[in-house]
Chain A
Amino acid sequence: MPCDELPDDLRTLWLEAGKDRPVFSPDQLRKDTERLQARRRRGNAILLVCLSIFVATFALGFFLVHNTLSRIGSILAVLAFGFWLVNILLERARTSPDPGETSALLFYRAELVRTRDAHRQLLWRWLLVPPINVLFDFGLVQTYAKRFPFIAPLEWSVSAFVLAVFLVWLPVKHLKVARKYQGRIDALDAAIKSNGEVTK
């Protein structure tokens, strides 16, 4: 089935857009691949170090703060950060469908699903923070409030901030974005259904 003609002036104009084409050599692309892999390894290492610092801080809290609530908070924190780490590394290892073997329609859908899922996962990751923080802070206040009167208002302010950010702002934000992507997926699915044929 031939497509009908595009007006000549429009086509001529379109062809002008390709005049300044960038040139890459295979050697340069090979180096780029190595650089990308190195950047990914570096990113994973930085993530590992950051989460390890958090885990070490809470693990230290377990031994320094002699309070049951704080200790429960510490244990939960270590477990949660471990879960985060595994989760993030798994997500990074997830690859997109092969771009040459997947049709544009299915690839687009897969990318939308991937992005939606990333936001949903973030939502759950943020929700883990407030209970841990509140438990830990509550224990701190119980233990040290008499010796350090400033600690109670300080810790409750921190807890209020953490609750507002991690229980309300971030989850709502990610929920909204995830819904936006779900809307696009639904629209695409509806289009696929109404069009019938989809090839791989």
Chain B
Amino acid sequence: MGIKVDRLESQDELYRQVADEYGAALARLAYAYEADPDLRRDLSQEIHLALWRSFGKFDGRCSLRTWIYRVAHNVATSHVIRQTKGKRNAPAFLTLEEAEAQAGNEDIEAFTNRRQALTRLLALVQRLDPLDRQVILAYFEDLDAESIAEITGLSAANVWSKIHRIKDVLIRQFYRGGRNAL
């Protein structure tokens, strides 16, 4: 996180450094928003494009990390809405209550190795409402509640309570069928 924006002279250089430092986190974010590999590649491109363009406007009023996650999550949210817009049978987003209810109905033989466990985890995250998704993804990336609040616009207390609820659902689903797989 040690990028000093004021020392950077160009948008391109800032982008290169950010892509280097946050590239893996942005790839994970794209995974959590898009299951289809081709569309995921498009989404990654959209995120990187938006970031590169946004650096021309970045004025340091918030931290660079907040800026990067805001841009990435917001672009991904637009992508998700666009993808579900024209599809009649597109899966609806799950509320936390629905996700919790699903946890009880999972096939416990569903995943037996790490790859499947990861796919299972991502599949669940991909069905969460975009706002819940943003909160849990930022948490997965080790951001604290205040930083997540700054990115999402929710209060820190609300972020905190959301994390607890989403994490409980994920852990319950995850360990039901998969602990041995890890």
Contacts and interface: CB of A to CB of B under 8 A. Distances in A.
Contacts of A149: none
Interface of B is mostly: helix
A17 B130 contact: no
Contact of B158 (A107, A188, A195): A195
Interface string A100-132: 111111111001100100000000000000000
Interface stretch (A2-10, A55-63, A82-90, A157-165): A2-10
B22 to A, nearest CB: 10
Given A2-B144, A21-B24, A22-B41, A103 B53 contact: no
Contacts of B78: 96, 111
B149 interface: yes
Interface residues of A, number: 50
A93 B75 CA distance: 18
A8 B32 CA distance: 19
Nearest to A8: B182
A131 to B, nearest CB: 27
Given A6-B167, A13-B118, 11 more contacts: A15-B24, A16-B118, A21-B23, A29-B15, A29-B48, A29-B49, A32-B45, A104-B73, A111-B77, A177-B85, A198-B153
13 contacts: A1-B146, A6-B139, A6-B167, A17-B32, A18-B31, A21-B23, A33-B49, A100-B57, A100-B58, A100-B67, A103-B153, A115-B85, A195-B154
